[in-house]
Structure 1
Amino acid sequence: MKKSTPAACPMPRKDCPNVLPLEGEIDLHISPNVTASLSMMIEKKPKQLIVDLSRVTYIDSSGLAALIEGMQNTEEYGGKFALAGLQETIRTIFEIARLDQVFQIFPDVDTALAAAPESKPSKSA
């Protein structure tokens, strides 16, 4: 079993348990922990689950897969899954993979929290 570090064991915000803040590089070594954290949150079936990517500097295909799985599992029970605070480099990765057309993406967590549950996914320019 791997040793726990803050980046390796993302936890929901204490003040807002439906927000998962991530930071640093989300790669093959970290993405299983992201998947586990999302699964724990999804078990509680929040109406809206937000992943805060404002402090993420890199994400690879395994990280994208973890987010896709989280979105699918959230939508399976009727919840809404959103991403917030993508830095330009991360947004570019989502655009190249055309995932900006799949995920609800908000400029920051506060905007995502304020969005009505029936909000449609944002379209990037």
Structure 2
Amino acid sequence: MEYEVNTEDQYTIISLKGEVDLHYSPTARKQILKYLGNNNNVLVDLSGVEYIDSSGVASLVEGYQLAKENKLIFGLLKTSESAQHVLALARLDKIFPMFDSVAECVSKNTG
């Protein structure tokens, strides 16, 4: 797995690429919790994720819960087909806010 971190508007965007599995999910978790711990709104870009297992999903759930506790915004951005399938199986596609773009997230979270 590779990752890249960027900032756009008031969001930290963590872009994950490759496989988010038992071997790599601790890295994803660390990045998600690091930026949420600094009171940043976080969007996780899953467009480059080829595979995600339950440990990767657990990292996303933990980030979502921490954001909610701290009244921060946490969402998924451009979810790949394979990641979308796993999230749907776990019925988390109904829980996580999902956006096609940062602009869409901004428009839904302002006002």
TM normalised by structure 1 equals 0.78
Please give the alpha-carbon distance, in whole angstroms, between the structure 2 residues aligned to 1:109 and 1:117. Answer: 11
Please give the alpha-carbon distance, in whole angstroms, between the structure 1 residues aligned to 2:36 and 2:70. Answer: 9
Distance change >3 Å, CA 61–CA 70, structure 1 → 2: same
- Which residue number corresponds to residue 100 of structure 2? 107
**What secondary structure, in the 3-state scheme, does the structure 2 residue paired with 1:73 have?**
helix
- Which residue number corresponds to residue 67 of structure 1? 60
- Which residue number corresponds to residue 81 of structure 1? 74
- Which residue number corresponds to residue 33 of structure 2? 39
CA RMSD in angstroms, aligned pairs only: 2.0
- Which residue number corresponds to residue 19 of structure 1? 13
Q: String of CA shifts for 1:34-93, please: whole Å, max 9, x gaps.
A: 1111121012112x3100001111000000000000111111110111001112222111
Which structure has the larger Rg over C-alpha atoms?
A: 1
TM normalised by structure 2 equals 0.87
Q: Which runs of 5+ in 1 are unaligned?
A: 1-5, 120-125
Structure (1 or 2) with the greater strand fraction: 2
- Which residue number corresponds to residue 123 of structure 1? none
Percent of counterpart pairs with the same letter?
Answer: 32
- 1:116 matched to 2:108? The reply is yes
Alpha-carbon distance, 1:11 to partner: 4.2
- 1:58 matched to 2:51? The reply is yes
Q: String of CA shifts for 1:18-38, please: whole Å, max 9, x gaps.
A: 111100000001000111111
What is the one-letter code of the residue matched to 2:78? G
Structure (1 or 2) with the greater helix fraction: 2
